[in-house]
A and B are shown apart, each in its own frame.
Chain A
Amino acid sequence: MRYAEFTPFDLVLLAQGLGVTVGLFLATTLIGLFLGALWGVIRFYRTPVLTQFITFVAEILKNSPVLVQLFLVFFGFPAFFKLNMTPVNAAVITLSLNTAAFVYVIAVSSIESIGRDQVEAARVFGLTRWQVLRHVIAPQALAFSIGPLTALLVNQLQVTSLISVIGVMDLAKIGANLNLRTLQPFIVWTVVGVLYYLAAKLVATLGARLEKRLRAHSAFRGL
């Protein structure tokens, strides 16, 4: 017997898929933000060799398709380094590094957006390089970078859909399965698309709210 009709359980499946997508998105975002910020700090300290290496890796990650990166980690790494790789592991590694590469670029440009005179003034007052970074640069750079970061995260949320290709049961994969079972592509992909759309809008709204708060100190107060 074929179960070709939609059943109430499909809603549970969709919710599970959405959960996997959101969970992986949050996890890779946190790792990516941490790594990207760390790379930015390494560049701020002008660590020789390491800075050039990071810049090179970030350029490669930014300028190649995420799908190929996924294939490299999921198919290439196990064959070459002789290790076991589950689809979820491969997805977390790839998406985290990819996010980190873009976060790194944003971190670098937002650090550079702060005038050199501020850094020099702080140094003259005897602050160490770390204190300058922590108390002078970080608060301003954070407020500056929230806008680009939000745009990046909205994009990265959509990029998570690619992990369905290596078999992670995320929203897109659930959609593909439902599509194969019910043969109703219009309904299935519309529902999946709407769920992704709402998730993206949620990220954008939260980002805008956070940016407004962080920029409150410099907002126009009115006459």
Chain B
Amino acid sequence: MLPGAGRPGGSPPPFDPLDSPVRSVTVKPVSLNGARVRLDLTILIPHLGFLAEGALLTAEVCALALVGSVLLGMLVAIARTSSNKWIGRLAFAYVDLFRNVPFIVQLFFFYYGLPEIGIYIDAFTTGVVALSISGGAYASDAIRAGILAIDNGILEAAEVSGLSKRVTFTRIVLPIALRTSVRPLGSVLINMILTSSILSTITLNELTGQAKIVASDTFRPFEVYVVLLVVYAALTYLVSIGISLLHRRLNRDLVEQVS
């Protein structure tokens, strides 16, 4: 029945909730047994294993994407520091593009676009590829800074010793650049862990995806997401401690300079 279609002059038709047009939707807060809902984290205990599966998937995705982005970052950093102008410009265009377009747009571009051109890969692979490409842009900046920080004297010494350009690069420049850029690469990794939560939008059930399922199962979104927030913060905190230790270990012979 349409609104206002009642009989003219007669009494208004009885209210029928199934028939009435929806005017406003109010979110009814969930309360169990009518009691005030209090913060009760124990309801999450049965779901811990389920969440841990998601955390494992997040770790896998991030580990693979870290490897991918460091490899890509090294190639792009080499290209950006090369003496060939056009290679440098191309590499800069890549970095500029992937740093200035939101990750979710890149992700949808790959996830919906690749099947169009006949490449059928699952959400996991798409996620790793997208994270690697986007992370590679950031990693290349970190590695490039490491390369540019190398003292010219070292390069001259290598040249005088008769090392070829390739050997100088792989045996001298890259090891030094990589170990001085451990810290910035670490912040790339932390960013990647945070960004990987976006993969839940392409049906990849990593930590955030699993938490979404738990939230809709238990009707306790507040508890679930508060815990998730703290878990992510703790995770990135632990990673940053690990990176500091690694940085100190790799640069232990330069202690007075790096400290």
Contact = CB atoms under 8 A, between A and B. Distances in A.
Interface of A: 59-60, 63-69, 71-72, 75-85, 154, 158-162, 164-165, 172, 175-176, 179, 184-186, 189-190, 192-193, 196-197, 200-201
8 contacts: A64-B228, A65-B232, A68-B228, A71-B212, A79-B29, A79-B30, A172-B104, A193-B106
Nearest to B200: A67
Nearest to A71: B225
A60 B230 contact: yes
Interface of B: 26-27, 29-31, 37, 39, 97, 100-106, 108-109, 112-113, 116, 190, 194-195, 197-198, 200-201, 208, 211-212, 215, 219-226, 228-230, 232-233, 236-237
Contacts of B26: 84
A79 B226 contact: no
A84 B25 CA distance: 10
Contacts of A189: 105, 108-109, 112-113
**Chain A interface main SS type:** helix
B109 A193 contact: yes
Contacts of B112: 179, 185, 189
Interface centre among B29, B103, B215 (most CB of A within 10 A): B29
Contacts of B200: 67
B212 to A, nearest CB: 7
A63 B37 contact: no
Contact of B225 (A75, A185, A201): A75
Given A67-B198, A79-B30, A185 B109 contact: yes
Contact of B103 (A59, A158, A179): A158
B100 A200 contact: yes
Contacts of A158: 100-103
B101 A65 contact: no
A190 B229 contact: no
Nearest to B219: A79
B221 A76 contact: yes
A179 B106 CA distance: 14
B116 A185 contact: yes
Chain A to chain B: the 4 pairs with minimum beta-carbon distance, closest first: A185-B112, A76-B222, A80-B222, A65-B197
B102 A161 contact: yes
A181 B89 CA distance: 37
Nearest to B233: A63
A196 B101 contact: yes
Contact of B226 (A76, A84, A172): A76
Contacts of A184: 116
B27 A63 contact: no
A161 B106 contact: no
A192 B105 contact: yes
A212 to B, nearest CB: 20
Contacts of B208: 65, 67-68, 71
A72 B113 contact: no
B237 A63 contact: yes
Nearest to A162: B104
A105 B22 CA distance: 46
Interface centre among A67, A69, A84, A184 (most CB of B within 10 A): A67
Given A176-B108, A189-B108, A196 B100 contact: yes
Given A71-B221, A76-B225, A196 B233 contact: no
A192 B100 CA distance: 12
Nearest to A82: B29
Contact of B27 (A84, A176, A192): A84
A15 B30 CA distance: 38
A78 B108 contact: no
Nearest to A203: B100
Contacts of A78: 27, 29
A190 B116 CA distance: 14
Interface centre among B37, B104, B190 (most CB of A within 10 A): B104
Contact of B100 (A75, A165, A179, A201): A201
Given A71-B215, A75-B225, A79-B219, 9 more contacts: A60-B233, A64-B194, A65-B197, A67-B197, A76-B226, A81-B29, A161-B105, A162-B102, A193-B105
